[in-house]
A and B are shown apart, each in its own frame.
Chain A
Amino acid sequence: MVELPHFLIVSVALFVLGFVGVILRRNLIVVLMSIELMLNGVNLSFVAFSRYLGDIQGQVAGFFVIVLAAAEAAVGLAIIILIFRRRGSVQTTRLTDLKDEIHAA
């Protein structure tokens, strides 16, 4: 019998997979996609809780998360275009202009 925990475990799995993608992948576009994956996990969790609590607020939250994911993706992709124009690459490993320089004080 499928109950709330089943849905939640799927949501946790999506979230963790997305997080792994954020850390593992070097391609900025794929990193953004992994963030979308995390947000999908969040949404599933909200909607599942909403259903089993009988509280519509969870679905409202899911609605707003989708809206914000769209906004974030748009801005994120615009910035990736910017990076690509400057450097001709979308690899995170190329982002090395800003870092701590260790000096002997």
Chain B
Amino acid sequence: MEILNNQDSLWYFLPESVLILTFVVILLFDLPENWSKNRLLAPIVATIGTVLFLALSFYTQQFPEAITFHGMIINDAFTDFFRLFAGLTALITIFLSLKSKEVAQVRAEYWALLVGITLGIPMLAASNNLLMIYLALELISILSYILVGYLHNTKTSSEAAVKYVLYGATASGVMIYGLSLIFGVTGTLNAIEIRQFLISNPAEQLALFIGLLMTLAGFGYKISMVPFHMWAPDVYQGAPTPVTAFLSVGPKAAGFAILLRFIYTALTQDQGGVYVPLKYIDISTLMAVFALATMTLGNFVALQQTNIKRFLAYSSIAHAGYMLMAAAALNTEALRGVIFYMISYLIMNMGAFAVAIAVINDSGSEELSAFKGLGNRGRKGALAAVAMTLFMVSLTGLPPTVGFVGKFYLFSAVIEAKIYWLAVLGVLNSVVSLYYYAKIIKYMYFEEAKEQKPFALTGFSFPSLIVGLAAATVFFGIFWNALSYLTEISAHLLM
């Protein structure tokens, strides 16, 4: 295992450097008076930067895996995957932001902040040092606070932002206290060295256990794990819709990445594809309980929602519960499963948000009732309704969609780990979720619209994005080999 010094590590940092540069360039381009009047300039620069970032991360993928910057950052296949994921999420979000009427008037800072969060995602996923984890997490969090509060002129946006700040700052405070306890007991901040400490010091230390629990609170807040989920519905509802879409996919995936990396690297020992928990910390059962609580709460509360964003917030909490099963299963299959699930979640959740943005643009209302009769409102309405149906079917986890394959992988990993009760209860949860996802389908086809005018979904690019995501949902649901190849090469942690 190679630990590179700062100079040799710089090449590995090339993709992220491009994002930092993009961030600065966007802000600089906004300075001249006549340039800042052009509303398309900043998103174009952001898109170019993100595409360049993706291209460069394909380039750095060819480098041998290494631990860089004196053990701060790990560049392995897992990191490469999250670079790809962050780039794709950012591109879709930039597109959605351009199409959404809510953020039509934004200035250059909005795009700069989006790029900044995109920088934070791979940084967090790659962190190997507790301090680096904290910094990357805060980078994402603080930028998210600002983006959530971006819409000054709505009351809900600022309320969402202030709730986010208070929950976020408290959770990260609890987490950093936990990190300090871990540091105190193990004498190191490096996750790999923490594992070595745990292996060589089997004596029980209560301080370490409490420290780990407090750290989990910080991670749990980021991925909206029950009982640290309270901020999520309010923030998702109050934030501008494209930002909600981004928060529910990008930063959440980053939170999962670091949770899994931390648990797999520091708290378990690899024994031929099975990760055995170290010492007295039964992390597997603990995470299984969290997973079950998260999915159950998400699914049951989602049943009662009437606001589309709040509805999708609880749905995303439920999906966080499914993904948490990977932290309980602790084997290579689980890593593969969760990576597959993240891709499928990216496609179907972004798709659902795209349709939601189209509906909000059309009706100006965020109520679920705005979906009523969508299927009978002209050609565009029918198209949006069909796409939304596919996304809902996929979110439920029924074949022939990508959501089904993702769930299949995750549940088989859980069964492989012999946690049968979790698998059974997880499947039952999916059945519950069918009820509320089907409610939207029912609204779209079997209810009367308030006004029978054709659905306003103009232009060529926005409908084609929705169609593209819907097509991907079905395509990867039938031909999942391409994706499962990607998950196989990505499910590798350097430790």
Contacts and interface: CB of A to CB of B under 8 A. Distances in A.
Given A49-B184, A75-B145, A41 B158 contact: no
B160 A80 contact: no
B25 interface: no
A82 B173 contact: no
Interface in A41-92: 41-42, 45-46, 49, 53, 55, 57-58, 60-61, 64-65, 68, 71-72, 75-76, 79-80, 82-83, 86-87, 92
Interface string A3-34: 00000100000010011001000001001100
A39 B176 contact: yes
A75 B170 contact: no
Contacts of A2: none
A105 B302 CA distance: 11
B162 A83 contact: yes
Contacts of A31: 166
B177 A38 contact: yes
Given A61-B180, A83-B162, A98-B160, A75 B173 contact: no
Nearest to A94: B159
Contacts of B156: 97-98
Nearest to A84: B158
Interface of B: 131, 134-135, 138, 142, 145-146, 149, 152, 155-156, 158-163, 165-166, 169-170, 173-174, 176-177, 179-181, 183-184, 187-189, 233-234, 237-238, 301, 303-306, 310
Contacts of B174: 19, 38
Contacts of A1: none
Contacts of A46: 180, 183
Given A61-B179, A71-B138, A83-B162, 12 more contacts: A38-B170, A38-B177, A39-B176, A45-B177, A53-B187, A61-B131, A72-B142, A75-B146, A75-B165, A79-B161, A100-B310, A103-B304
Interface residues of A, number: 45
Contacts of A22: 166, 170
**Residue among A60, A61, A79, A95 with max Cβ neighbours from chain B (10 Å):** A79
A57 B183 contact: yes
A72 B138 contact: yes
Contacts of B161: 79, 82
A72 B304 contact: no
Contacts of B162: 28, 79-80, 82-83, 95
Contacts of A87: 155
List the 7 shortest-distance A-B pairs measured between CB atoms, nearest first. A49-B184, A98-B234, A38-B173, A45-B180, A82-B158, A35-B169, A46-B180
A95 B184 contact: no
16 contacts: A8-B184, A22-B166, A22-B170, A35-B169, A39-B176, A45-B177, A45-B184, A46-B183, A49-B183, A64-B135, A75-B142, A75-B145, A86-B158, A92-B166, A98-B234, A103-B304
